[in-house]
Amino acid sequence: MEMGVEVAVEDLTKSFGTQKIWQDVTMTLPKGEVSALLGPSGTGKSVFLKSLIGLLRPERGRIVIDGTDILQCSSKELYEIRKLFGVLFQDGALFGSMNLYDNVAFPLREHTKKSESDIRKIVMEKLEITGLVGAEDKLPGEISGGMRKRAGLARALVLDPQIILVDEPDSGLDPVRTTYISQTLIDINAEIDATILIVSHNINLARTVPDNIGMLFRRHLVMFGPREVLLTSEEPVVKQFLNGTMIGPIGMSEEKDEATMAAEKAMVEEGHHPGGVEDVEGIVPQMEATPGTPERKAVGRRRERVREILHTLPEKAQAAIRDSLDDEADQYADHSYDEYASADDNSDTIEYATAQQNRNYAGADDDTQVIPVVRGSGYQNDERG
């Protein structure tokens, strides 16, 4: 089985002429995990995706994929690296004059020497996964936006990608279809263990789908790390984004000045509705792969990874992660205690294992390796002193 590869981005800066889109972006998409990049419109999320596949060229920094820095490598190497990717662009980017079958078959005909009967097997399998069987003969113009999206996803999958980039899977979709496409992405991750990056501004999706979340705002990556970090963040920009209210640093245009912020705050204090529906706070359970799909290997890998970096995270995120580790331990206790106990040679009981982990986390200090997952926002200063 194919296995996702890590994508490491270091100090990446991209401008168009004199317009700086973002600068000093550093993050690592852990192999085989699902990550999401959030941010208000126009912050350069699509530009970031296009940079990852080498369609746009940042002027500074590194993008290391499978050991190759794609900003330094030859065009031949870049061509090879690109084969690792499956990309779902915002509008599906289908060829208007080809029916869905031919659209989905296109990468196979273009990049492989497979026979038409092999191609048929693969195409039908991907159409099945994305719920499009029966629509093979339709032209993109004859189907709904949601179907076009799913066709784009089917096409992104045909070459068994190890990295899947998805630009706004929810745009133009109703909430129910958005959940279905989210479930499909999680299931695909379980099936092929690909590294997935989803760009979105959908809060439900952000809260329930990814293992890791980052956010771009005002030309910077505000943070990137395990989902618990952003979902428990006290950063005003993050809280405002999650709640969708007008109160906070995000305005209609890129920059909101102090005077506007004060005026809006005063209006709301006078009783004006700030927008948004509810106070979105804390962690909700993450979606799981559909019963019957293989176990999602990212879950176990992430658990180990997050344990190691736990002490570098903000307190609230640590607490949320400990809670979820405890819940998992309880589940194991319910179902197969023996399996869990034998998985950790040092532990006699679950209580002991958990207590010991907590001590490890609490006691970890300056001489431990600090992995900079949380950018900006001062957390790392606390850690690094």
Ligand X SMILES: Nc1ncnc2c1ncn2[C@@H]1O[C@H](COP(=O)(O)OP(=O)(O)OP(=O)(O)O)[C@@H](O)[C@H]1O
CB of 142 to ligand X, least distance (A): 26
Does 21 bind ligand X (CB under 6 A)? Our answer is: yes
In this chain, which stretch among 44-52, 243-251, 292-300, 314-322 interacts with ligand X, using CB under 6 A? 44-52
* DSSP secondary structure of 185-213: HHHHHHHH--EEEEE---HHHHHHS-SEE
**The residue type at 233:** S
In this chain, which stretch among 37-45, 94-102, 345-353, 362-370 interacts with ligand X, using CB under 6 A? 37-45
**Binder among 31, 45, 207, 227 for ligand X (CB under 6 A):** 45
CB of 216 to ligand X, least distance (A): 7
In this chain, which stretch among 35-43, 112-120, 291-299, 350-358 interacts with ligand X, using CB under 6 A? 35-43
Both tokens of 30, joined, read: 């852990």
d(CA 195, CA 164): 6
Q: What are phi and psi of 139, to 5 degrees?
A: -85, 150
Does 42 bind ligand X (CB under 6 A)? Our answer is: yes
Does 43 bind ligand X (CB under 6 A)? Our answer is: yes
* DSSP secondary structure of 150-179: HHHHHHHHTT--SEEEEE-TTTT--HHHHH
Does 213 bind ligand X (CB under 6 A)? Our answer is: no
Does 16 bind ligand X (CB under 6 A)? Our answer is: yes
CB of 200 to ligand X, least distance (A): 9
CB of 379 to ligand X, least distance (A): 24
Does 28 bind ligand X (CB under 6 A)? Our answer is: no
CB of 170 to ligand X, least distance (A): 11
d(CA 269, CA 263): 10
Residue (131 or 251) nearer to ligand X, CB: 251
d(CA 121, CA 181): 22
CB of 251 to ligand X, least distance (A): 15
Does 44 bind ligand X (CB under 6 A)? Our answer is: yes
Does 237 bind ligand X (CB under 6 A)? Our answer is: no
Q: Closest by alpha carbon to 12, among 24, 1, 4?
A: 24
Residue (56 or 341) nearer to ligand X, CB: 56
Tell whether the torsion through CA atoms of 150, 154, 156 and 162 is positive or negative. Answer: positive
CB of 237 to ligand X, least distance (A): 14
Residue (23 or 46) nearer to ligand X, CB: 46
Count, residues near ligand X per rule CB under 6 A: 11
Residue (56 or 371) nearer to ligand X, CB: 56
d(CA 286, CA 231): 12
Q: Is 18 helix (H, G, I), strand (E, B) or coil?
A: coil
**Binder among 4, 30, 32, 39 for ligand X (CB under 6 A):** 39
Residue (89 or 332) nearer to ligand X, CB: 89
Q: Are 155 and 103 in contact (CB under 8 A)?
A: yes
d(CA 248, CA 241): 9
Q: What are phi and psi of 173, to 5 degrees?
A: -105, 150
Does 46 bind ligand X (CB under 6 A)? Our answer is: yes
Question: Which residue is associated with the tokens 């995000």?
Answer: 250
Residue (47 or 370) nearer to ligand X, CB: 47
Residue (17 or 271) nearer to ligand X, CB: 17
**The residue type at 18:** T
**Binder among 1, 18, 41, 365 for ligand X (CB under 6 A):** 41
Residue (43 or 318) nearer to ligand X, CB: 43
Q: Are 46 and 67 in contact (CB under 8 A)?
A: no
Angle between helix 100-111 and helix 116-129 axes, rounded to 10 deg: 130
Does 47 bind ligand X (CB under 6 A)? Our answer is: yes
Q: Kindly list the strands in the beta sheet with 7-16, ordered across the sheet, starting from the edge strand earlier in the chain.
A: 19-29, 7-16, 60-65, 68-69
Both tokens of 119, joined, read: 């191609």
Query: What residue ranges bind ligand X (CB under 6 A)?
Result: 16, 21, 39, 41-47, 201
